[in-house]
Amino acid sequence: MTVTPDSGHLDRVGYLFGHPIAHSMSPLLHQTVYEGLGLKWAQLPLDSTDMDHFLKLIQDPKFYGASVTMPHKVAILKHLDSLTDEGRDVGACNTIFTRLDPTTNKRQYIGTNTDVVGIRDAFYENISDAEACFHGRPALVVGGGGAARSAVYALTKWMKATKIYLVNRDRSEVDAVIKECTERGFGGELIDIATVAQAEQLEGPGAVVSCVPNFPPRTKAEKDARGVLECLLAKPHKGAVLEMCYHPSSWTEIAELSKTAGWKVILGTEAMIWQGLEQDKFWTGKNAHDLPVKKVHEVIASKLNESRI
């Protein structure tokens, strides 16, 4: 049974809709923003798989928007009035915002995808010279899930990657990423790198996005993928690595390998924070740098430190 959080004390209400969501820092991030702006708003966690219940909740006149996470990012699409370019191209929605239709004056529910913006901004907010670091160079994506698809989109659309290497233990997952991204129009040149011998012949990447959990490679396929990554990290050009994994620790084996090899490491909390601030741009109408960015970073870092104790 879905428990509906109480919103009677709020001026405006939003939701984090997904399952499971117990470890999500999204409500904390947004609460920090609203407190910093003096708003009596909150994003309430709705740990649920009941789509009908969620669709009823968002009819509330006080509803301002929602974060949508697994398993609803694709299922929600058919219930929305429209999608932004990012939401349509990626084919997954992690953010709902509302606007009034100028003709009918009815509220419209619009979906977008800020995951792709989070990846983009994690690089541009942490790298002072993108031109020297990763513009006009190949990029590398490690993994084969939804985050890998978002990374391909950001690298292709905004980050001037000439081609994208894909490294993963599962060839069928890589094939699916290539097929889906190409069909959706942001595939560019995607290359499956399966062996170290293949990697040795390639130009080194400038931007790397790691989208896999933090665990040591055990199977042959996992060891092969790690070997390919290590080979590419050892290339002469040293760029920046975004390590998307940040739970339970933001410092992973791949982060350590990258740092040792001379790369700049960007923590996954950066992507999480910047995608969240992008959401609040839609919800509050303010630019990201008009939001309490520094305070958000402090609060998220403190929360991560707590979880390690």
Task: Give catalytic residue positions.
Answer: 73
Cβ(10)–Cβ(62) under 8 Å? yes
Nearest C-alpha neighbor of 154 from the set 92, 233, 207: 207
What angle, 0 to 180 degrees and rounded to 10, lies between the N-to-C axes of helices 26-37 and 268-284?
A: 50
- For the chain, give percent helix, strand, coil, nearest 5: 40, 20, 40
Cβ(275)–Cβ(94) under 8 Å? yes
How many Cβ atoms sit within 10 Å of the Cβ of residue 179?
A: 12
| Segment holding 82, helix H or strand E | strand 82-83
Q: What Cα–Cα distance (Å) separates residue 232 from each residue in 207, 210, 213, 238?
A: 11, 13, 19, 10
3 state DSSP class of 269? helix
Cβ(67)–Cβ(26) under 8 Å? yes
